[in-house]
Amino acid sequence: MAQSESCEGCSHAHDCKKVYEQLGCVEGPSIAWTVVLAFLVPIVVFIGALAGFGRLMEGVVGARVQMPLAAALALAATAGVMLVVRVLTRQHRRK
């Protein structure tokens, strides 16, 4: 493997390969569910809550304030769900 120009003057140029090999061999738990919880769940909850609150407010409030109010409520609902998820995952880790 040829060294790049940025490695030519480095005193650790030969050790980099060893470090990356060691990092690649590290065994650990899968983080797939953590990634789903951190990225996918908030988006899905927000979209679902926005649709739900939008539909609930169709006949209740004026059309002008309907979407901003639904978005604010959906954001609050998403924050609440993520707070619950955070508490549950912390309790699960302690066991």
Which are the contacts of 17, defined by CB distance < 8 A and separation ≥ 6? 1
pLDDT category of residue 89 using cuts at 50, 70 and 90:
confident
String of b and e for 23-33 (b: at least 16 CB within 10 Å)?
eeeeeeeeeee
pLDDT at 15 over 80: no
What's the pLDDT score for residue 2?
52
What's the pLDDT score for residue 4?
57
State pTM to two decimals.
0.65
pLDDT category of residue 5 using cuts at 50, 70 and 90:
low
49 close to 73: Cβ distance less than 8 angstroms: yes
- Residue 28 sits at φ, ψ, to 5 deg, of -160, 175
Q: Is pLDDT larger for residue 9 or for residue 40?
A: 40
pLDDT at 48 over 90: yes
Which range among 44-48, 51-55, 62-66 shows the weakest confidence by mean pLDDT? 62-66
pLDDT at 69 over 70: yes
